[in-house]
Every structure is written in structure tokens, then in C-alpha cells.
């Protein structure tokens, strides 16, 4: 058997810890992701926000805007996101993403102009 799964116990331990300690607070992550999704839907440079079903927000940009264009503007304002395609961007909320951080990201999104 090849691959890197010979130490799968480490991954299993992380999963068990998450299930025992963080399931309830996932509601916060998911709510914050929905807020980000709603904020993005209101921007004229966003063509589509995919359904937000968890803590992941994926959205497409209006051409000719590219993911690189948006990521550069976000980074200048201290906000991190990931390109998910040439004109698609992904935000992920998580345990270390606070309410204050969400409010700041919303503020940044609302001020971006193209």
C-alpha cells in the first residue's frame, strides 16, 4: 500500500476532536458565510454567488474581471481569499474567523469598485 496514509491516526484524532468540540459552533461559521454571500450578491462586480450551504462561499465575477484582479484588491485591504478558477473566488469561514473579522470583510467588499 502506497501513499501517505500510514499515519492516518493523526487525521482521525483531529476529526474526533472537531466532532467532540466544535460541531455546535459550526453554526457561527455557516451564518457568517451566509452574511458574506448576501453581501457579495449585492455587488455589481459579482455575477453569481453559488448556494451557501456551509462555511464556504464561492462566487463568480463579471467579465472581464478576473480572480487575480479581485484578490489583489482584497489583499491590499488585508483580506485573504482564494482563486477557485480564472473568474471564481472562494471565501471560507472557520474557527479563527471572528465576528469582527466578518464585519471588516463586509466593509471591504462594500467599498471595492471596478
Query: pLDDT tens for residues 15-36?
Result: 899 889 988 889 999 999 999 9
pLDDT for res 14: 86
Instruction: Name the DSSP letter for residue 55.
Output: S
Residue 4 has pLDDT above 70, yes or no: no
CB 60 within 8 A of CB 46: yes
Return all residues near 61 (Cβ < 8 A) that are at least 6 apart: 45, 46, 47, 67, 69, 70, 87, 88, 89
Percent of the chain residues topping a pLDDT of 70: 95
Arithmetic mean of pLDDT, 67-92: 98
Lowest mean pLDDT among 23-32, 50-59, 74-83: 23-32
Instruction: Name the DSSP letter for residue 22.
Output: T
Give the three cell numbers for residue 77.
Answer: 485591504
Cis upstream peptide for 86 (omega within 30°): no
Q: Which of 91, 101, 104, 16 is nearest to 55 (CA)?
A: 91
Query: Residue 36 and residue 106: Cα distance in Å, rounded?
Result: 6
pLDDT for res 5: 65
CB 80 within 8 A of CB 74: yes
Which domains does the chain carry? 27-111 (3.90.1150.10)
Amino acid at each position: 500500500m502506497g501513499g501517505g496514509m500510514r499515519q492516518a491516526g493523526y487525521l482521525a484524532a483531529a476529526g474526533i476532536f472537531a466532532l467532540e468540540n466544535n460541531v455546535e459552533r459550526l453554526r457561527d461559521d455557516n451564518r457568517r458565510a451566509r452574511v458574506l454571500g448576501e453581501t457579495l450578491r449585492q455587488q455589481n462586480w459579482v455575477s453569481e454567488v453559488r448556494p451557501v450551504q456551509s462555511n464556504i462561499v464561492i462566487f463568480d465575477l463579471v467579465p472581464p474581471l478576473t480572480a487575480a484582479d479581485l484578490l489583489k484588491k482584497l489583499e491590499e485591504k488585508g483580506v485573504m481569499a482564494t482563486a477557485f478558477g480564472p473568474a471564481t473566488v472562494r471565501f471560507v469561514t472557520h474557527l479563527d474567523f471572528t465576528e469582527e473579522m466578518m464585519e471588516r470583510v463586509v466593509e471591504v467588499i462594500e467599498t471595492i469598485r471596478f
